[in-house]
A and B are shown apart, each in its own frame.
Chain A
């Protein structure tokens, strides 16, 4: 079955950096676009970024463009999100998700807290 496991979250100071990873299994990773989606505590869902199956195309929400970078390693079945210049408003649970017709499988999420 599809499994997506995020790692790399934690507490970081404003202006700091963090790199999230997502280990995928149970499907052919290189056949799918992949997304990062976040959810601030007690709030709704916000799409952050997605990347094409080959990694050749990337897309970002306006709120993170220029600060976050999505990437993937198809040989390692892994998805990444490099987050720089972090702000308090980036505090959220970050979900790794698979794209098929649309977002069809989600990881359990990893908490990122930006606070001094």
Chain B
């Protein structure tokens, strides 16, 4: 399964909304449990990735509620509702429907 993110980078003003898209080459919705096998990660420079969201929209414990995920099937979105300085990072989507595949990453910067 190929994961494609857009855009590759974006610059957003502090307090504004950031939206990242992720498209899978085939559906990652598992019919038996009606769950989308899609996760989002945040990676800051020099650090390993951090899990933000799984099942497309379930926030990992401790993740601020300004991060939200949506979508189903093949099209997904990560939204940061009000961008904070500490949110500057590269964001990756990952499918876990069949082994694991990551998107190419989206770099989020401050405008």
Flag if A59 contacts B48 (CB, 8 Å).
no
| Residues of B within 8 A of A (CB-CB), count | 21
A44 on the B face (CB < 8 A): yes
User: Given A107-B48, A108-B48, A102–B94 Cβ distance below 8 Å?
Assistant: yes
B102 on the A face (CB < 8 A): yes
In Å, the complex CA distance between A35 and B39 comes to: 16
Report the tally of A-B residue pairs with Cβ distances under 8 A.
51
User: Given A101-B54, A103-B51, A104-B51, A44–B92 Cβ distance below 8 Å?
Assistant: yes
Flag if A35 contacts B100 (CB, 8 Å).
yes
Flag if A45 contacts B102 (CB, 8 Å).
yes
Q: Size class of A's contact patch?
A: 10 to 19
Residue of B nearest to A106 (CB): B48
A29 on the B face (CB < 8 A): no
A50 on the B face (CB < 8 A): yes
B73 on the A face (CB < 8 A): no
**Least Cβ–Cβ distance between B37 and chain A, in angstroms:** 8
User: Given A44-B105, A45-B92, A103–B48 Cβ distance below 8 Å?
Assistant: no
* Interface positions of A (Cβ within 8 A of B): 35, 37, 44-47, 50, 59, 61, 95, 101-109
Interface CB pairs A-B, < 8 A, 5:
A35-B100, A45-B92, A50-B99, A102-B39, A106-B48
